[in-house]
A and B are shown apart, each in its own frame.
Chain A
Amino acid sequence: MLLLKLAFRNILRQRRRTILTVLSMTGGYVLCCLSFSLTDGSYKNVIRIFTMDHTGHIQIHRDDYLQRPKVFKGIDDTPEQRQQIHSQPGVQSIAPRVFTPALAYAGTRNTPVQIVGVDPALEKTTSRLFDKVTQGQYFDATLNADGYYSAMLGIGVAESLRINIGDELILISQGADGSIANDIYIVTAIVGTRNSWDRNKVYLPLSVAQEFLSFYGKVHQYSLLLEDENAVGRITQSLATALPTLTVNPWMQVEATFYNSMEADKRGNRFTLLIIVFIVFIGVLNTVLMSVLERTREFGVLKAIGSRPATIAGLILIETMMLASMSLLVGVVIAAPIIAWFALRGIALPDPIDMGGIEFGFMTGEFSVGVFAWPMLLIMAFAIVVSIPPGIRAARVSPTRAMGSF
């Protein structure tokens, strides 16, 4: 207690210097918080966009379908199977899907496409496909009056085939049993934009796609949305144990390229912050060292009346920690409203950034405990490190020499 009182009095002795030091640390802290908030926030935004767009939080395949998609690698799609997955705690929705590359014809034109068979009702609950319909009507799995099933096209397919709503689309592919899959469909909707993931996709209702591919009762993928996106790791684990015959991948593995570059970017970002904080703390070191040198005589007296070296080093540590705490207090007061604004409004980007076909126009921040806590720990850690050299110096002071000097 005495030590605290002593430390408090000491830092108040040179008020101007204290304030300046506190301010420089505050600056470092606020900068860290903002940077954390913006990177985490904008990445979280991107992740939310593509997980909701088509990836889902968790994907389930058979064997190595994710790495080597072969049309015959299917999951037996039974109601029990779906129920078993859906009933896992934390799973919000499930969408079965079928994929295959195909050649699309219309009139004299043709183009390679990717067929995606989706359950019209379940897909609505898991991805934003329904919201991405820009023209026409979201499809269902019923025959139209002329006896054709409907298909939805990505804008790229519609443009290269020069077809529109109501036109015929011919698809040719290889079925899961090696036969030639071929059929005619009627375009009922155009989905997505020129940059979106769907630009070369053709969506068919699940049952129609299964019939097209002779892939009855099977699907290639279950895409899952979770109630809590942060629980991905845990739920992946529990699903993997519940489904030993299938392969369960979190979005981090499905979108491994994105995830790895995101992690690399974050690491690079943190390293830059580390350097900035380091520079701030060179200034802090200077301050602490100064105050120690000024007080050599006082430390000599303290030693002479029986203070242990550890006590004196502790005194320096407490002083630095007090400075750091004050700056953190000020820092939180300054950073909190700014970050709140970032999280709620965000910075409008003059040109929306296109990340793998996903556009985002606002750079929004993240408002969470982590955003404030991690920089806090960083500052505290640096404060401790920085108080070591002056502390040692003060502790080693010899009373006779200290009191002899002036």
Chain B
Amino acid sequence: MNLTLHFALLILTVTFAGLCHADLNSKTASAERAKALIDDMEALYRGDISKALITMQVVTPQYQRSMEMESLNQGRDNAFIRILSPKKDRGIATLKLDQEMWNYFPKINKVIKVPPSMMMGSWMGSDFTNDDLVKQTTLTEEYDLALVETVDHYTITLTPQTHTVTVWGKIDYVIDKTQLVPISQQFYDDNDVMVRQLNFTELRDYSGRLLPSRLEMIPLNKPGHKTLVIYESLDFEPVDISDSDFTLRNLQSRF
């Protein structure tokens, strides 16, 4: 009698453990899938190397401003952005190497490192933060991912890991299932209130890749503000990019 009970308990335990294991497996699989999806999305605009011509429009209730800039990317870590117009801002450049970032101002011939405390600050007065330019690449490393599939969309919910330094309480990343392109990102604060939204629209063919050409960042806590990013051209096989483009020396070069 004692033995029977013992045996029954054993069977129960083993079954339960098995169940747990199976559950864990599917969870890992979905996380893996989510990670792969986000990595794909992030790689879409960058490629291994890429060169883009971007128009950025900053809209606020008080003013409206348009900038043209050239953006060079190398893998996921290095980026170089230079403002081409308006004339007043021409030559202002941003260099990003891994997790570090510098701005260069040609008028005063000065390189200023963006300190960690300024990472959530606005980049060139837009609704994008410096962090958006630097940290996007590490979404899959610093967040826990959960994937939800619907008929048309993948929705990946990113929740920060305990050691992650971030201001977001949660990010929802929505991906189009058929085209495999991002549709939107929603950023929530710690109280689960949506504070900003990034929309990807207007698919365009860039040398064989179909990509949303228009990014719209809407900070929901600042009515009337938004920033548009339009990819005028995007070249994934630029011939004139080398490692020397991503150096502090190049940042300060006159052009």
Binding site for B on A (CB under 8 A): 72, 105, 170, 172, 174-180, 182-184, 214
Contacts and interface: CB of A to CB of B under 8 A. Distances in A.
Interface in B49-77: 58, 60, 62-63, 65
Contact of A178 (B103, B105, B125): B125
A179 B105 CA distance: 12
B44 interface: no
Contacts of B65: 177-179
B124 interface: yes
Contacts of B163: none
Contacts of A214: 88
B60 A178 contact: yes
B126 A178 contact: yes
Nearest to B124: A180
Contacts of B105: 172, 180, 182
B125 A183 contact: no
B105 to A, nearest CB: 4
B84 to A, nearest CB: 14
Contacts of B144: none
Nearest to B86: A179
Contacts of B37: none
Among the interface residues B103, B108, B126, which one has the most CB atoms of the partner chain A within 10 A? B108
A174 B88 CA distance: 13
Contacts of B107: 182-184
A79 B5 CA distance: 99
Contacts of B58: 178
16 contacts: A72-B62, A172-B110, A174-B125, A177-B63, A177-B65, A178-B60, A178-B63, A178-B125, A178-B126, A179-B88, A179-B125, A180-B89, A180-B103, A182-B110, A183-B107, A184-B107
Contact of B108 (A170, A175, A179): A170
B81 interface: no
A90 B231 CA distance: 58
B198 interface: no
Contacts of A174: 125
A179 B110 contact: no
A180 B108 contact: no
B101 interface: no
A183 B110 CA distance: 10
B92 interface: yes
A380 B90 CA distance: 77
B110 A180 contact: no
B220 to A, nearest CB: 19
A72 B88 CA distance: 18
B62 A179 contact: no
A346 B63 CA distance: 54
Interface string B101-115: 001010110101000
B125 A180 contact: yes
Contact of B125 (A170, A175, A182, A184): A175
Contacts of A105: 108, 110
Contacts of B103: 180
A158 to B, nearest CB: 19
B89 A179 contact: yes
Nearest to A169: B108
Given A177-B63, A179-B65, 5 more contacts: A172-B112, A177-B65, A179-B124, A180-B103, A180-B124
Nearest to A185: B108
A172 B89 CA distance: 13
A172 B105 CA distance: 10
A172 B114 CA distance: 14
Contacts of A182: 105, 107-108, 110
